Structures are given as C-alpha cells and as structure tokens.
Structure 1
Amino acid sequence: MSNRLFDASVAPAAVPEADSRGPWAYLWWLVRIRPWPLVLAAALGVLWMIPLALVPLVIGRAIDAAGQDTGQTGLYLWSLLALGLGVLQALAGAGLIQAAVGAEAHALSTTHRVLMRQVVRLGATLRGKARSGDVAASAAADVESIGNSFEVIGRTVGAVVAAVLVAVALTVTSPVLGLAVLVGVPAAVLSIGPLLRPLQERDEAQRELMGVATSQAGDIVAGLRILRGIGGEATFAARFRRTSQQVRRAGESAGRMEAWLQAAGVFLPGLVTVGIVWLGARLALNGTITAGELVAFYGASAFLTLPVSTATEAAETLSLAKVAAGRVCTLLRLTPDAVRPEHPEPLPAGALALTDPDSGITAEAGRLTVLTGPADRLADLADRLARPGPAGPAPVRLGGVPLDRVDPAELSARLLRSGPADTLFSGTVREELSAGSARSREALARALYAADASDVVAALPGGPDAWLDEGGRALSGGQRQRLVLARALLAAPDVLVLEDPTASVDAHTEARIVDRVAALRAGRTTVVLTDSPLWRGAADRTVRLAADPDAAPGGPDRSAGVPS
C-alpha cells in the first residue's frame, strides 16, 4: 500500500499514548484519561440501586405501621417514602443509561483511535507483523468487549453499595439474619470465581480461531479470480469450512461455560434467598421479628439476587475485556520499521536523487530511471529504496541523506512507493484518489489522464463522485491498477517508485500510460521497476539487475549490471 497513506502526521493527536504493558494496564489507562463518565455512572448506579434495596424495608415498616392502633399517619408517611424512592430510582435509571453509554462510547472510540493510529504507524509493514484477521477482529469484537466492560461498571458499583446497605440494615434489625446475609451473599459471589478462568481460556481459543478464519475469508475474497483460474475454489472452500467448524466448536465450548456461569448466578443467590426466608420465618414464629420485618427480609433477600447477578455479569464481562485488551496490546506493541530519529536531518529542496550504495544503483534527480531484472530482486530492491531498513554500513540515501536519518513524516511526503500490493478503499473516487488531501479538479484530471483512467471514472455512475466498494472489487484488474497509479501520480511526490505499474493493461494502453507519465513527471525523480520494453524505451536511464547479487557483470557496479 502506498506509504503516503500511512503518514504518521495524520494520526489522531488528541489521544495520548496508550499503556500497552498488559490488558489490565490498558483498561486502567482508559479509565485514567477520562474518568468522569465512569464516576458519574457509578454515582447514578448507587442512586438507582439504593431505592431498590430500601423499598422492601420501607414496605415492611408500612405493614407494621398499619397493624398498630396509632392511626393511618405512619402508613401514609411510609407509603410516600416508597413513592419517593420509586421516583428517585426512575430518574437515576434514566441518567445511568446515558452515563453508562457515554463511558462505553469513550472506551469504544478511544480504542478504535489508538488502533487506527497504530495501523497508520505500521503502514505497509503491518502485513508482515500481524494477520489481517487479527486486526479486523480487534477492530470489531475486541473493541466491543472493552466497551461492554465500561458499560457495566456503574451498575456494579451501585449493586455493591446497595448490597452493603441491605446487609447493614438487616443486621441492625436482626443480627442473626444480618450475619446470614453477610456470609451467604459473598459466598455466592466467590463460588462463581472458579468458572471464570475456564471461560477466559475458551474465549481466548475462540478469538484466536476467529482471527484465522477472518484471514482465510479475506484471502479467498481477494483472490477469487485467481482461484477460479487455477481451479482452487473447492480446496480453499474446504479449508475455510474446516476452520469455521473449529470456530463453531470453540464457540460452543465457550457458550457452555458461559451458560454454567449464568446458571450459577441464578442458582447460588437463590439458595441464599431460600435460606434467609426460612430463617426469617422461624424468627417470626418465635416472635423475634414482626410480620413487617419478615416481609422486609424476604424482599431484601430477593433483591440481593440482583447484586449477585450483576456481579456475575461484571465478572464475565471483565474476563472478556481482559482477553480483548490483551489482543489490542499485542497489536499496540508492534513496532514500525521506520522510527523517527532523535536528530532527524532535513532533505534538500527540489528534485532528489535516490542512491543505493549496496547495489550501486542511482536514480538521478529529476529523471526517469527504469530498473529491470529478476522479479524477486526487483521486489527486494523496491522495499529497500522506499523504506528505511536496519542500520547498516551502506544505507539508501535520498538527496544525499540516509533514509534512516529522515523524519518519517517528511519521508512519506517526499518519497512514495506504489506497487501491486496497493489496494483501493471504500469511498468516492475523488476521496480515494486524493487520499484525504486537498487536490484541485485540474490536478485530478491530469492524474487520471496520465494513468489512462479517465474512461474508467467516466463510466462510473457519478463520475469522480461515484462510490467505490472496498478493494474496488467491481472493477477489473486493469481498471484497479490504473486508478492506483492515478492516486500515486496525484500525490505528486518528489520521488516516485513504481513497481510494475502497467502489468495488468494491454500494450496499447501501456504505451499511452508510459508516454503520459513520463511527460507528467518531467523534472521529478521517477523510478520504475519493470521488464516492460515500453518503459525502457521511455527511460532516461535503464539499469539491469544481475540474477546473482554477488555477480559483477558490470565491473565495479557489482549488482546493478550494465547501465544502458
């Protein structure tokens, strides 16, 4: 993909660097950079849960007040208090939904942005460092899991506070029942713990298989035409079916463990409720507590199933979020090949020469240089010319400055590589070709003309404003290649490295493209790696690479061969 598209200067600057040391460190970083949505959600969660916890106690007092011969004043007061608690719960619940969604949106959007920034930094090197399926799964499933964990925090904090409040109230009323609650509820929550680790392990296994399946599906879609040509559709489809069945089995395994977790979240607090009601009934029969207090104890114990189920949900959600955050951290810890030097050297203004001392090749400033030779050597050389490699005795120089000494932002603005791995993204033709930069209609028309792609755009409904599907899959191979070339030409870099830019077009179209590109790029450095005789005929200088890097057919120019 063209390195101009991965200019680090366009990365979101408002988001600080993420803490990628581990999943919990990353989740805590999300909390630290914007804590207020979570704080508000927690406060509203408490205000939402406390009325639920107090209503059974208030109703119990109202029953006792109605049974006394002191008039109806006490009953009315306790009834009004219950009504007030209901109104408070409704208002707090409405605010809690908004606050929780805000916290979730913060986690979602921030994780999306740090992932996009990392993709921008890695650029074309991402393909060699991570599977496309892993990136796609992180941008979809992992981000959603992290967002869900933030949504549940407010309710969880409210549930914990309300459970403590109920336990204290029951203990004041009856120490025996209070002790039963204080022991039973934590025991129910802790009993769920042993199920979390197996669930997490099965989720990790499913997530890994999903990444593999997504990568395979992407390969099949991208190479469908080729697969049809060689009769490989059935083989690749069978391989994908096997992988998808593995994903299904892994999902079923994780689902079974999740079902056990949900069942435990209902069964265990149910046992606590049954025990408290039984004990409370015994105390009521003995006269230790009143009928109203028995009702209050029953309502409170029934309410306690909500904090336990909420805690179960939070434990499950956080377990999934930990797995997701770990995947995100794995991507964030990948390092790009091009790192900004501590003291970058500026490039000279104007046309730039591109020199590779290792191969002896020099693309003179402002001229069209064509490199020919074995395909593997051309591909390796394209990587070397357009991207700073590891520090070595003979780094590639741009305008006399070693590539690894140039600021990556300036390098991507002055040097552009376009090759067969480039792709088209979804969006309008104008947006896609301009790559987010402001370009005039005249510049766009010139680039399309030089790439002989004017007819391609004219045939689309809407012309330059027509919508392109992802990868330009509705276009032929030659049409896609011409639009990719037009995008590179529209960028107008000082140095343009093109890999086989006309491999998918016919000879007549290629001849027009060669002449027009040479005219458009006059005065600027252009390097074309191809075996096409048409490009060689238009070149200011042609260099043929030897098949053996150690061969020296041209004497001192060891690997470059003989200039012509």
Structure 2
Amino acid sequence: MRALPEPFAAPPREVTPWGFLRWLVRQQWTTVVQGTVCDIIWLLGLALTPWAIGRAIDEGLVAGDYAAFLRWLGVVVLLQLQHSLIQGLRDRAGSVNFERSWSRVDQIIARASSRVTVAAERDLHPGAVVTMASSDVWALSFVAINVGSLVSALISFATVAVILLRDSLLLGGLVIVGVPAFSALLFLLVRSLRARQIEARDATSEMNTVATDSARGLRVLRGIGGEEWFLARFRERSASARDAGKKVARPMSIAEALKVLIAGTLVVGLTWIGAVLVTQGELTVGELVSFYGYAGFMVLPVTLLNQSVTVAVRALIAARQITGLLEVAPLWPREAGDDAGGVPAARETAQKGAQHDGGEDSTLDWDLLDERSGLRVREGELLGVAVRDAAQARALVDRIGRMVPDDPDAVVRLQGQDLAELPIDEVRERIVVSDPVPFLFSGTLRELLDPRGRRDDETILRAVAAVDATDIVDAVDGGLDVIVGERGVEFSGGQRQRLGAARSLLSEPQLLVLHEPTSSVDASTEERMAAGLRAYRRGRATVMVSTSPLVLGVSDRVALIDDAGAVVAEGAHEELLQLEADYRGVVLRAEGVS
C-alpha cells in the first residue's frame, strides 16, 4: 500500500509546460515503469495471439498434426490467461499513477495559491485557481498512465510489423506505411483541438468566476433582489462554455471517426490482398487468418495513440495554467533561512532602526511602530485605537499585519526591524490580525478554533470563555466535536465574530490586532468580551481598533487617529473624553449620539 498524499516536492523554477509534464512523470518513475511493463505485456499478449492461431492452423489442422495443433492451442490459451491476469495489475498500476499525480498536482496548486494569496487574483483570471483544482488536475493525472499506453502501442506495432514483413513484404509494408499515414491525420487535428480546448477552458473558467463571486455575495444578492441578474449572467457564461465545448466536439469526433476508418481500411485491405495471395500460393491459410487478426488488433494501438495525443493536448493546456500560477510573484516573498529575520537579530538591530521625535532611542520602549501614523505599541500593553474614518482603520490594520504590499513610504517596525525585512511566515507567526467578519472553515468546532491542533480542550475553552462564547459551545450537540459548515453558516454574525476572536487568542501571537472585535454583539456581551480580552491578553501586546467606549474603556492607553491617518492624541479613555472633543465625537457617534 502507498500512503497518500505524496510527500510534497516543488517543481523546478521557471519550468515550461512541457518541462512540468516531464517533471511530473519523473517524480513517480517507479510506478510509471511498473505500469508501462504491465501495458507492454498486456498488449503483446493480444498482438501475438493471431500469430499463434495462424501457426495452429498451418502446422496443426492443414498439416494434420494434431499434436502440433494442441501445442499451439496451448500457446493461445496461455497468451489469453496472461492477458487476463496482467489486466488486474495494469488497472492497479493505472490507479496508483493517477492518484499519485492527483495528489502531487493538488498540493502544488494549494501551496502555490496560498503562497501568492491575493496576488493570484491580481495576475490571473478570478476563476483560474478553481478551474485548476477541478479540471486541470484531472487532465494532468492521466499523463503518467498514458506513458505506458504510448510505449506499449509503439512496441506492439513494431512487433506486429516484424511478423508481417517476415510473412509477406506486401502486407507488412501495407501495415507499416498505412497505419502511420492514417495516424498522421490525427496530428493534423492537434492544432485545432488544442486551440479550441483552450477556448473551452477559458469559458469554463469565466463561468466558475461568476459562480464563485455569486456564492461569496449570495446574502448581498438576496438583499438587493439580484438573483435574477445573477441567473442571467450565469446563464450567459454557461452558454458560452457550452458553445465552446461544441467547437471542441468537431475535431474530437473527426479523431474518433478516423479510428474507425483506419481499422476498417486495414481489415478490408489486408483481407482482400491476403485472399489474392492465398489463391496465388504466396500465402498460407493460417497466415491469412493471422493477417486478418492483425488488422483487427491494430485498432487497439491506433486507439491508444489517439488517446495519448488527446491526453497530451489537454495536459499541456493544464500545465500552462499551472506554470502560470507558479510564475505569479507573491506580494510578500518568503526569505527561507534568513537568520536576520529572527527575534534576537531584531533586538540587536533595534538601536539602529528605532527613531522617533527626530532622534535615536537609547532604549527601545515599544514593540511596534507604524511610521506613517506615528502609532506606537508598547511591550505588554493593551492599546485601544479610535479611528474616525473606517477606511483609515482598515489601512492601519493591514499595514500592521502586513496584509498589503510592502510600501517603503509606510514602514512598520517590529522591535526595531522593518517588517518588510522579515520572512512573511515569521510575521504571520508573531502578528495575528482578527477581522470583524472572520472566515470560518468547515470541520469540527475544535479544528475551527485551533487549526494547528496545538492547544488542549482546557485552553480552548478558556479562550472561548474570554470572548463570552461558552454559550455557543454549550448550545450545540457534541460541544467541540460538532461539525461546523463552510463559513460557519449555522452561526449568527455575532457568534461567528466571537469564535473568530477566540481563534485569534489561541494563536498566542506576540502582537494581536483586533479590528472591531465587538461590532456584531449586543452591549452586555460586548462588555463581557472587553473584560475577557483584557484578562486573557494581560502582559502581552494587544491592539484593539474600535470606536466602542466599552472596548476603549478597558485599554491601558488609547490613541486617536484623524482622517489623515495620523495619531493626534494619546491617553487614558476617560482623560481623552474630557480633554479631546474629536475623540468625544468619535465615541459618541459610535454610540449613536449626535
């Protein structure tokens, strides 16, 4: 038994589509060789059967030697037995090669899309990744199988050609010249088939884009009565995909017709010429029967050759999409093995990189500095941030969490070091951002709250209690073992927000950024959440971006950011309420007081 998924292996850098196909086959060459050997034995058993039957007729029945007849009959039976036995091994090898390729390509797509994240939407068609994961991975998984099909078809063709030439140069020449000539017609269809399959794939990708976008905004569509508009738009894209599929059908149907034409022409031609040669004494009856069998057999290698061409065309189109994804530059490159990005190095360089108020700090009294706004987060403090403009609040959170492309004019320093100089994996480990509307994945509630499986149930429940979400766990059958649907559809907006906040607490980052963590809950729940968050994160740097007085009131310090995105006031919540009219206006507006 072979364990799946396959160990991950990255394809070579700047690999071409053809290079990707070759690399994919090399990665599993052992099972590809096994499948190819099975294919060869399987097909040769069929190829030699007409030859053995002809010998049974000539050396047994015609010559009256029944011992020879039984001997050759035994050979025929053995050939059929080995064909039947090898069929099971051949099917198994094909399944193994398919699953290994599927696993490998699926991992490549998943890792590449997670590496480039939103850059994929910038450089590729919005539905491209969905199409890769659904249809392209399928097309590529047949490549390893068809290596054996192609090799066995060529070997069996060569074997039959040698036998035919030995018995009759005329008939052998007919097969050797005729089959490749007819098969060459298939390759003339490749250009048309390839172009039309690319068009069909693009149409399918556009259809998937409409479906994906609509699924994301289904609630909004319903709210504005946009269902009919969506259906019309999807119907249009679906019709385009259908029409593109029809265009693909023409060259494919011609290819299928050619298979029948090639086989029929060979059977008719060989039988007619063979019968003439028998009447002239140049061919025996057994050889004629063998030639007739060869003509019928040649249908199979021709079919396999046609299948190999079709699979290669589809796989090449799919490989072009995969290599396109691999070429997308991520917004935040990963500097693997960069020791300069470590915490000790960051502390050593803090004296060099930390500046504020026009001079260097002799001591570093802050964990994080956002140079654009002037916001400082001190080590171990719970900092409240009130922002008048929602867009400025989102921009601030994205900068601190490095959720947007690095900007040299908007430097954020973590313990003195520019975030842009740190490996993105380290940033994600040390700084966690919790959005107002968190994305909840399907799985058990335990997996939703602790995706990496690092915490025990006691720790998970403590984080759940900190965000006042114990009632959610108690209300579902199975507790933490309950299965949660995609995006947490069974939970309300407030419940999803609390579960997302609990998940961010359980990540235990060096710096936690909570963006409007209580915007979807009622006042009493908000008060308990604010107190719970403060208690849970005591002694660790935490930023809560909010305009709620209940949240800002539990903060050690509050910073007010104006419409230009700059810190204009700092202090305790009560102090700012008394002294800063702008701050008072932001908080009162959040409370609905004009």
Relative to the length of structure 2, the TM-score reads 0.86
Q: Are residues 1:354 and 2:347 paired?
A: no
Give the match for residue 196 of structure 1. 190
Q: Distance in 1 between matches of 2:519 and 2:266?
A: 73
Which region of structure 1 is more displaced relative to structure 2, 510-519 or 39-48?
A: 510-519
Give the match for residue 165 of structure 2. 171
Give the match for residue 396 of structure 2. 381
Q: Distance in 2 between matches of 1:125 and 1:443?
A: 35
Matches within 5 A, 1:137-536: 137-341=131-335, 342-348=338-344, 353-371=367-385, 372-387=387-402, 389-390=405-406, 392=408, 395-420=411-436, 422-536=438-552
CA 1:13–1:78: 2 relative to 1, 3 Å: closer
**1:56-83 deviation line (CA, Å, top 9, x unaligned):** 1111111112344452122111111111
Is the partner of 1:152 in helix, strand or coil? helix
8 Å CA contact 1:352, 1:366 repeated in 2? no
Is the partner of 1:397 in helix, strand or coil? strand
Which region of structure 1 is more displaced relative to structure 2, 39-48 or 192-201?
A: 192-201
Please state how far the C-alpha of 1:433 moved relative to its aligned partner: 0.9
8 Å CA contact 2:45, 2:79 repeated in 1? yes
Is the partner of 1:538 in helix, strand or coil? coil
Is the partner of 1:344 in helix, strand or coil? helix
The two structures, once aligned, show a CA RMSD in angstroms of: 2.6
Q: Are residues 1:118 and 2:118 paired?
A: no
Q: Are residues 1:98 and 2:131 paired?
A: no
- Residue identity opposite 2:289 in structure 1: V
Is the partner of 1:387 in helix, strand or coil? coil
Is the partner of 1:167 in helix, strand or coil? helix
- Percent identity between the two aligned chains: 34
Question: What is the aligned counterpart of 1:16 among 2, 9, 17?
Answer: 9
- Residue identity opposite 2:450 in structure 1: S
Please state how far the C-alpha of 1:258 moved relative to its aligned partner: 2.2
8 Å CA contact 2:332, 2:406 repeated in 1? no
Q: Distance in 1 between matches of 2:528 and 2:246?
A: 58
Please state how far the C-alpha of 1:178 moved relative to its aligned partner: 0.7
Give the match for residue 558 of structure 1. none
Give the match for residue 3 of structure 1. none
CA 1:171–1:69: 2 relative to 1, 3 Å: closer
8 Å CA contact 1:188, 1:308 repeated in 2? no
8 Å CA contact 1:502, 1:510 repeated in 2? yes
Please state how far the C-alpha of 1:401 moved relative to its aligned partner: 1.7
**1:286-339 deviation line (CA, Å, top 9, x unaligned):** 221111111111100110011001111111111111111222222222232222
Which region of structure 1 is more displaced relative to structure 2, 137-146 or 370-379?
A: 370-379
Please state how far the C-alpha of 1:256 moved relative to its aligned partner: 3.5
**1:141-160 deviation line (CA, Å, top 9, x unaligned):** 11111112222322221111
Quick one: higher RCO (CA 8 Å, sep 6+), 1 or 2? 1
8 Å CA contact 1:554, 1:562 repeated in 2? no
Please state how far the C-alpha of 1:128 moved relative to its aligned partner: 4.6
Q: Which runs of 5+ in 1 are unaligned?
A: 1-11, 556-560
Count of matched residue positions in the alignment of Structure 1 and Structure 2: 547
8 Å CA contact 1:363, 1:527 repeated in 2? yes
Is the partner of 2:376 in helix, strand or coil? strand
8 Å CA contact 1:104, 1:151 repeated in 2? yes
- Residue identity opposite 2:9 in structure 1: P
Please state how far the C-alpha of 1:562 moved relative to its aligned partner: 8.8
Please state how far the C-alpha of 1:139 moved relative to its aligned partner: 1.6
8 Å CA contact 1:159, 1:307 repeated in 2? yes
Please state how far the C-alpha of 1:107 moved relative to its aligned partner: 0.8
CA 1:69–1:301: 2 relative to 1, 3 Å: closer
Q: Distance in 1 between matches of 2:70 and 2:121?
A: 71
Q: Distance in 1 between matches of 2:180 and 2:189?
A: 16
8 Å CA contact 2:54, 2:290 repeated in 1? yes
Please state how far the C-alpha of 1:506 moved relative to its aligned partner: 2.4
Is the partner of 2:278 in helix, strand or coil? helix
Q: Are residues 1:30 and 2:18 paired?
A: no
Which region of structure 1 is more displaced relative to structure 2, 127-136 or 284-293?
A: 127-136
CA 1:69–1:222: 2 relative to 1, 3 Å: closer
CA 1:94–1:252: 2 relative to 1, 3 Å: same
Which region of structure 1 is more displaced relative to structure 2, 281-290 or 390-399?
A: 390-399
- Residue identity opposite 2:396 in structure 1: L
- Residue identity opposite 1:539 in structure 2: S
Question: What is the aligned counterpart of 2:564 among 543, 548, 551?
Answer: 548
Please state how far the C-alpha of 1:344 moved relative to its aligned partner: 2.6
Q: Distance in 1 between matches of 2:208 and 2:189?
A: 29
- Residue identity opposite 2:397 in structure 1: A
Q: Distance in 1 between matches of 2:249 and 2:548?
A: 57
Q: Distance in 1 between matches of 2:400 and 2:183?
A: 60
Q: Distance in 1 between matches of 2:94 and 2:105?
A: 17
CA 1:492–1:16: 2 relative to 1, 3 Å: same
8 Å CA contact 1:366, 1:523 repeated in 2? yes
Is the partner of 2:341 in helix, strand or coil? coil
Which region of structure 1 is more displaced relative to structure 2, 379-388 or 280-289?
A: 379-388
CA 1:247–1:399: 2 relative to 1, 3 Å: same
Q: Distance in 2 between matches of 1:330 and 1:226?
A: 33
Please state how far the C-alpha of 1:208 moved relative to its aligned partner: 1.9
CA 1:233–1:318: 2 relative to 1, 3 Å: same
8 Å CA contact 1:192, 1:265 repeated in 2? no
**1:418-461 deviation line (CA, Å, top 9, x unaligned):** 21464111100001110122211121112111222221222222
**1:62-107 deviation line (CA, Å, top 9, x unaligned):** 1112344452122111111111111221222221111121111111
- Residue identity opposite 2:11 in structure 1: A
**1:165-185 deviation line (CA, Å, top 9, x unaligned):** 001110111001111111111
Which region of structure 1 is more displaced relative to structure 2, 82-91 or 254-263?
A: 254-263
Give the match for residue 538 of structure 1. 554
CA 1:315–1:73: 2 relative to 1, 3 Å: same
Q: Distance in 2 between matches of 1:475 and 1:552?
A: 37
8 Å CA contact 2:559, 2:567 repeated in 1? no
Q: Distance in 2 between matches of 1:352 and 1:189?
A: 74
Give the match for residue 7 of structure 1. none
- Residue identity opposite 1:76 in structure 2: L
Relative to the length of structure 1, the TM-score reads 0.91
Give the match for residue 6 of structure 1. none
